[in-house]
Structure 1
């Protein structure tokens, strides 16, 4: 658990936001080490303070659930992220957008449907997929980021097509049940908060409707609790082999598209939003529907997840509040590093380590644990990337300039290690080492 002083600071932050944002109620939770270490709430729901079991509508956090379902299909080999949507969904009005583009909001689709406003109207007014697209794509797919609720409605239809049942049924059996998210539902079940609009110039309330969004539901239909959202945050931190492995979750958290405005602090992963706040890299999603706002952020470096929900259409700065909940814990109780322990390393891997040279530039090859190489310049003067073991003794780049590239250890006729080849970059043990492995040759009299 957290220190009492940290817990008070978190409660104070929620209290300030509920009061300043004029939300009828607000609740939050923080998860660390796979356990909820703090929860708190302010305001009232039906005359009593909300609890960890009180449902709120979570809006676009629904999109991240849908993204998990799509990536499960990819991991099963049912689709590829570079596939055109039309390859799998025959009646889609936008067949050329790829699945990856839809996940990253770079498909060119508009943000919203045609009138009436889908969030405040019954989904029955849009009976088929064609009725979701008000106009042709704003631009060619893949050109730029533009947030699209319509795109995730189409992804939900894709899940339904490939699973043979609707996306929510898939989410219930494939995500919520394995993770123990028993209070995440399509429609509200008691106890739940009621959605309110707060008058901008007076402390007055107006009830908001909660219609079934129909085909638009994958963009923002779900109801959940802080406890369930913390469990989902644990998935976004660590993965879960019953739902999505850690490697796929890490893929979701990588940038896939910049923000619409080119803001360096915001980017888009695969179904998750990315935020830099206070020097920390966060991933997750904000959410809003009439009467509700919600946010879930995770901080992988600190093994933290935080969530907050409120029942007001607008007012609370929910995204910033949740980022600051994470910051309070990270600053007051920074994560302890894992204890260092020696690793078991075979001789072939050990032979790769140490200084190499790309031409005259020094390159360091280091081993992290027993199965990750870091290849980069000494003193930060050159590109650096991490590598995982690949087939046949090769290594595959995980990030940076060499992401996806293959590192090979090249041996001479006698079996001795000659040089490293990385996408035709040749690394030798000496600067421009004599021999035939570097194009252009070396003068006979060497360095002078």
Structure 2
């Protein structure tokens, strides 16, 4: 990036490292799938950390497990509305759906019973499941957002059961290796990489206390993994839609949709999809995940609209605003060097599609219908206020809504005998070339005396 932009980015992480009293802090900016800047402050074993230094990424692990679950869905091995006990029987919370577990709306307790799992050696799934009695469901499933680490322990067991092997083996074979994330591991120190030690920083003195880093056992799918800037940059690009064949981009877009919002603090600025956190910041809708484990904080976020993302790590338990830092790095990049829009180029449109374009009316309200590439359509209120949706073709004169109010609904073009389109039908609504055209099948009919003063 420009030297002036890099100066602002470097100053931002330098300020955070000092004010947060972080033993080390490292961050990278990702644009169009590539690292365009990275920087670090502090040291790991006396050496400045680089792009291959491993840090624990905590709950970013959840997004990777979520991708493994969606792969099973896309293969037809499960449905998101399936109850957990259809695939993993014998739990006290088996009535929760897979979608609810992915989006933290199952009502399940946030932490596993017993000793705090993040600082204690983990047990088996059998032990964890037996400890989760009916009293560990704190809310009616589907009622509200309630972050549950336990839920992702259950999703890890779901992946293991359906694949017939450990969830970690599945993640490595199906996600990490295909994306080139060779340095993302369950335990640190492999491949000869430098590894950050996790510390707690004393609140009233500049001294450190090493934090434990146990194998979390059955809770590992909630936060076990370690990674590097290079690897998490690849995952950030994946989150933005550069999926490398691991998932269909449409599936990742589905994971990014808000399944619930976190309104525990009043007006909501955050939500959760199917394994991804959603954040509203500075007019941007950012997607990714944060992570914290004793001694570590991590975050990855991307703005899918600009394809600018950021990754940040630090090896301290608290004190660094890792989420706000990551969001601000994205804002700095887009403010100082805004990405250029893709060039416009003409594209062919079939005559039957072209003749559908132009002015249509829902009752008296005018809309414009635009032809897009690949046979898509875009329906927009003429004044820009109201229900707008894009539509993907599914057959002759039929399209399905992709977003907005009409997502999932079918749009059909009605034609007269010579093939001229005279009306559009959409979710029982009829759009006509003129307001309430009496020659079209307007629901309820049209007053035979027509318009009057």
Q: How many residues align?
A: 447
1:145 aligns with 2:145: yes
2:432–2:440 CA contact under 8 A, matched in 1: no
Shift of 1:323: 0.1
Q: Partner residue of 1:171?
A: 171
Q: Partner residue of 1:226?
A: 229
Counterpart of 1:202 (choices 205, 218, 226) is 205
1:284 aligns with 2:288: yes
1:186–1:221 CA contact under 8 A, matched in 2: yes
Counterpart of 2:350 (choices 332, 346, 362) is 346
Q: Partner residue of 1:19?
A: 18
TM-score relative to the length of structure 2: 0.96
Provide Cα deviations, 1:390-441, integer angstroms capped at 9, x if missing partner: 2343111111111111101122344332210000000000101012501232
Unaligned runs of 5+ in 2: none
Distance in 2 (alpha carbons) for counterparts of 1:123 and 1:114: 11
Shift of 1:446: 1.7
Provide Cα deviations, 1:125-151, integer angstroms capped at 9, x if missing partner: 875342452633112211111111001
SS in 2 for 1:379: coil
Q: Partner residue of 1:31?
A: 30
1:129–1:154 CA contact under 8 A, matched in 2: no
Distance in 2 (alpha carbons) for counterparts of 1:267 and 1:21: 26
Provide Cα deviations, 1:369-388, integer angstroms capped at 9, x if missing partner: 34332112111232111111
Task: After TM superposition, list the pairs within 5 Å mapping 1:23-422 onto structure 2.
Answer: 23-124=22-123, 127-131=126-130, 133=132, 135-189=135-189, 190-261=193-264, 263-422=267-426
TM-score relative to the length of structure 1: 0.97
Distance in 1 (alpha carbons) for counterparts of 2:36 and 2:131: 42
Shift of 1:158: 0.3
Unaligned runs of 5+ in 1: none
Provide Cα deviations, 1:84-125, integer angstroms capped at 9, x if missing partner: 111111233311111111111101111111121010101038
Distance in 1 (alpha carbons) for counterparts of 2:360 and 2:403: 20
In structure 2, do the counterparts of structure 1 residues 439 and 127 end up closer, same or farther at CA, with 3 Å as the change threshold?
closer
Distance in 1 (alpha carbons) for counterparts of 2:292 and 2:245: 29
Provide Cα deviations, 1:354-375, integer angstroms capped at 9, x if missing partner: 1101111111111233433211
SS in 1 for 2:275: coil
Moved over 6 A (4+): none
Distance in 2 (alpha carbons) for counterparts of 1:420 and 1:181: 48
Q: CA RMSD in A?
A: 1.4
Provide Cα deviations, 1:301-327, integer angstroms capped at 9, x if missing partner: 111120000000001000000000000
Comparing 132-141 with 339-348, greater Cα deviation is found at 132-141
Q: Partner residue of 1:9?
A: 8
Shift of 1:7: 1.3
